[in-house]
């Protein structure tokens, strides 16, 4: 082969290589464009329809055999309900309660015919036709005037006069009463009304000038008083050996930068317990050092963000360094559990390019969620949940693991399906962890649901005032969201706290948390039901 032919052959190989790279890049870009189009115009729900044409099966010979077995006719002497699936039964409708609460105040108007009004003594009442409507009375401002009389003794007219002391308050000479501050906080952190809109409402509808600066000061004042309750809630939450954690970005004003900076709400949650917001200007693993106390042992359920395993590794290394001189040091039992909802979302996003494989994987994950739904509807405890998961869920998870190993070589690492498989396999140890513990949830949807109010709020107020005000928002979000979690009316609970805290001691703070107040209210309701005469005394 001549030198010219060798050069030509080299150029040809180089061109072929560039063509293959261009085709690969084009394929990956097309997948990204398709994913963006589905994100904007496609269905948002991750549920799979029963009649989905893409629900082809993969590695599901056992499933097909089980379905064929289920279609066989039932023997005459067999119990037709023995193999029935609880999931096929229809949901029982909840009994309908009263259309309107019975404790609503009633304004009654009696209307008589004109002929009766003209000659009432000639008519006898024989019955009534009653119709009801629901009306609304808008909120109103009230001026609270506290008058303290001064007295001097008649027999000592020149002695110092006496006057009753001022009752404890949030701040001396503060214009706003606890009820107004509670309303401002509820309007911003529950109804998502920015303070400048509240200022406009008070001016236009009520003819009262409340500058936005005053509203900001009152909100910050309330957060200062509520911080002891917030700290007690944090302390109580970290006594649990299972905590869910997630984070969400929040923009805040940073003077001198010319634009907003990004901070983060780290949200921790215990199923059935409080929801705690933690404010940090960053998203690194060091933020978790301020959230999780030193020496904490238990399970943290989180997504695949790298800060969590980095924190776990650093915390265990520090524990080993602190106990290196011990003859038999106990290892720090700090485990991470993964979230199946995040793994499922990755496959759902990659479904458009390879619907056959993605749909099979999604339906296997769906079977895991059906098992959890059945356990939840039957009110299963941790022991029963662990037993059912070990006997049913573990088999599905093992089948999923084998399938992912089998199909991994089919996909490019940067493709949508390749990324979904890599994410699931990288999180597999954490994804399996919930099977071995009945106390763990299959996903961290509870903590994600707790983050939603802040996501709705930041669409309205867009950013918070400064880095320092991030803690204020974290405290107030914690109070209102935890109150809702425990069945309390948030505005009324805030009003109760702002009235009670100025005259309370530090020892009384544990009795003011949402969980404690909810227990007190439930106990009082039980007493009223057991002893109806107490209800009349309370009234």
Residue 260 confidence class, pLDDT cut points 50, 70, 90: confident
Q: In sequence order, what DSSP letters do the residues of 332-381 get, joined into one string?
A: P-EEEE--HHHHHHHHHHTTTT-HHHHHHHHHHHHHHHHHHHHHHHTT--
- Alpha-carbon Rg for the chain in angstroms: 32
User: Is residue 278 located within the same domain as residue 334?
Assistant: yes
Confidence band (pLDDT; 50, 70, 90) for 479? very high
**419 with 362, same domain?**
yes
Domain-embedded: residue 147: no
Residues 6+ away with beta carbon under 8 Å from 407 = 58, 357, 421
Residues 350 and 317 in one domain: no
Of 409, 440, 471, which marks where a domain is finished? 440
Cβ of 494: how many Cβ atoms within 10 Å? 27
State yes or no: pLDDT of 388 exceeds 90. Answer: yes
Cα of 340 vs its chain's centroid, Å: 16
Q: What is the pLDDT of residue 282?
A: 87
In a domain, 24, yes or no: no
**How confident is residue 460, by pLDDT bands cut at 50, 70 and 90?**
confident
pLDDT category of residue 47 using cuts at 50, 70 and 90: low
- How far is C-alpha 236 from the chain's CA centre? 18
Question: What confidence tier does 530 reach under pLDDT thresholds 50, 70, 90?
Answer: confident
**Residue 462: which of 286, 250, 268 has the closest Cα?**
250
Query: In this model, does residue 51 exceed pLDDT 60?
Result: no
Give burial (CB, 10 Å; 0-12/13-18/19+) of 261. Answer: middle
395 domain-assigned? yes
**Tally of structural domains, the chain:** 2
Please check whether residue 394 lies inside any domain of the structure.
Answer: yes
The lowest-confidence range among 50-54, 182-186, 253-257 is 50-54
Crossing angle of helices 340-349/3-41, nearest 10°?
Answer: 120
Could you count the other beta carbons within 10 Å of the beta carbon of residue 500?
16
% of the chain at pLDDT higher than 70: 87
Same domain as 208, residue 272:
yes
Does residue 82 lie within any of the structural domains?
no
Residue 392 lies inside a defined structural domain of this protein: yes
pLDDT at 323 over 70: yes
Q: Do 334 and 355 fall into the same domain?
A: no
What element of type H or E holds 404? Answer: helix 394-407
Domain finish residue from 387, 411, 440: 440
What pLDDT is stored for residue 96 in this prediction?
Answer: 67
Q: Packing angle between helix 469-485 and helix 212-237, nearest 10 degrees?
A: 60
Residues 311 and 188 in one domain: yes
Q: Domain for residue 257, yes or no?
A: yes
Q: Give the end of a domain, one of 424, 440, 456.
A: 440
Number of Cβ within a 10 Å radius of residue 177:
17
Same domain, 273 and 345: no
User: How big is the CA angle at 373 (ends 369 and 374), to the nearest 5 degrees?
Assistant: 120
Instruction: Check whether residue 315 and residue 401 sit in a common domain.
Output: no
The answer to whether residues 186 and 255 belong to one domain is: yes
CA dihedral 99, 103, 104, 110 (to 10 degrees): 90
Cβ pair 233, 267 in contact under 8 A: no
Token couple for 35: 């994913």
Is residue 312 located within the same domain as residue 456? yes
Altogether, the residues listed in the chain come to a count of: 539
Quick one: pLDDT at residue 403?
94
- The pLDDT confidence band at residue 100, using thresholds 50, 70 and 90, is confident
Q: Residue 422 belongs to what domain range?
A: 340-440
Q: Are 312 and 428 contained in the same domain?
A: no
Q: Mind listing the pLDDT tens digit for each residue in 272-304?
A: 899 999 999 888 899 999 999 988 999 999 998
Shared-domain flag, residues 508 and 405 = no
Please list, in sequence order, all residues whose beta carbon lies within 8 angstroms of the beta carbon of residue 261, skipping any fewer than 6 positions away.
251, 252, 253, 254, 281, 467
* Dihedral sign (CA 422, 423, 429, 434): negative
Residue 126 tokens, joined:
């024989």
| Res. 516: pLDDT tops 50 | yes
Q: Is residue 182 in some structural domain?
A: yes
Question: Which residues make Cβ contacts (< 8 Å) with residue 281, sequence separation at least 6?
Answer: 252, 261, 263, 264, 467, 470
246 forms beta bridges with 267
Residue 190 confidence (pLDDT) above 60 = yes
């Amino acid at each position: 082969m001549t030198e010219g032919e060798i050069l030509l052959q080299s150029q040809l190989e180089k061109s072929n290589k560039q063509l293959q790279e261009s085709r690969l890049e084009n394929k990956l870009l097309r997948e990204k464009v398709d994913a963006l189009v589905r994100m904007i115009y496609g269905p948002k729900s991750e549920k799979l329809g029963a009649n989905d044409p893409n629900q082809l099966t993969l590695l599901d010979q056992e499933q097909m055999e089980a379905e064929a077995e289920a279609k066989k006719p039932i023997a005459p002497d067999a119990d037709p309900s023995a193999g029935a699936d609880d999931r096929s039964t229809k949901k029982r409708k909840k009994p309908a309660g009263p259309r309107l609460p019975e404790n609503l105040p009633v304004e009654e108007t009696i209307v008589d015919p004109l002929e009766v009004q003209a000659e009432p003594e000639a008519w006898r009442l024989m019955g009534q036709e009653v119709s009801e409507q629901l009306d609304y009375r808008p909120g109103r401002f009230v001026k609270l005037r506290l008058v303290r009389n001064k007295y001097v003794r008649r027999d000592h007219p020149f002695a110092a006069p006496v006057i009753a002391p001022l009752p404890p308050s949030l701040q001396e000479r503060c214009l706003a009463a606890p009820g107004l501050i509670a309303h401002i906080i509820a309007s911003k952190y529950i109804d998502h009304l920015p303070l400048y809109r509240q200022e406009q409402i008070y001016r236009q509808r009520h003819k009262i000038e409340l500058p936005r600066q005053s509203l900001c000061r009152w909100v910050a004042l309330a957060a200062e008083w509520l911080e002891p309750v917030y700290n007690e809630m944090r302390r109580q939450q970290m006594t649990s050996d299972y905590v869910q954690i997630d984070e969400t970005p929040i923009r805040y004003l940073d003077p001198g930068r010319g634009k907003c900076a990004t901070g983060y709400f780290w949200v921790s949650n215990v199923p059935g317990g409080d929801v705690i917001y933690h404010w940090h200007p960053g998203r690194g693993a060091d933020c978790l050092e301020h959230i999780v106390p030193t020496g904490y042992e238990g399970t943290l359920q989180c997504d695949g963000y790298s800060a969590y395993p980095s924190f776990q590794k650093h915390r265990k290394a520090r524990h080993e360094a602190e106990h290196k001189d011990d003859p038999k040091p106990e290892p720090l039992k700090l485990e991470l559990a993964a979230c199946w909802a995040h793994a499922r979302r990755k496959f759902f996003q990659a479904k458009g390019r390879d619907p056959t494989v993605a749909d099979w994987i999604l339906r296997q994950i769906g079977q895991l969620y059906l098992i959890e739904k059945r356990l939840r509807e039957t009110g299963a405890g941790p022991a029963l949940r662990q037993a059912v998961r070990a006997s049913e869920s573990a088999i599905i998870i093992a089948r999923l693991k084998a399938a992912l190993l089998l199909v991994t070589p089919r996909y490019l690492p940067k493709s949508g399906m390749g990324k979904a498989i890599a994410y699931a396999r990288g999180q597999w140890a954490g994804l399996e962890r919930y099977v071995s513990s009945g106390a763990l949830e299959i996903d961290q949807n509870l903590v994600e649901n707790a983050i939603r109010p802040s996501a709705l709020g930041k669409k309205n107020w867009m950013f918070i005032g400064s880095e320092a005000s991030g803690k204020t928002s974290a405290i107030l979000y914690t109070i209102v969201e935890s109150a809702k979690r425990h069945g309390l009316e948030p505005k009324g609970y805030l009003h109760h706290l702002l009235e009670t805290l100025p005259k309370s001691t530090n020892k009384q703070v544990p009795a003011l948390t949402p969980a404690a107040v909810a227990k007190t209210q439930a106990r009082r309701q039980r007493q009223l039901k057991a002893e109806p005469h107490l209800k009349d005394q309370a009234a």
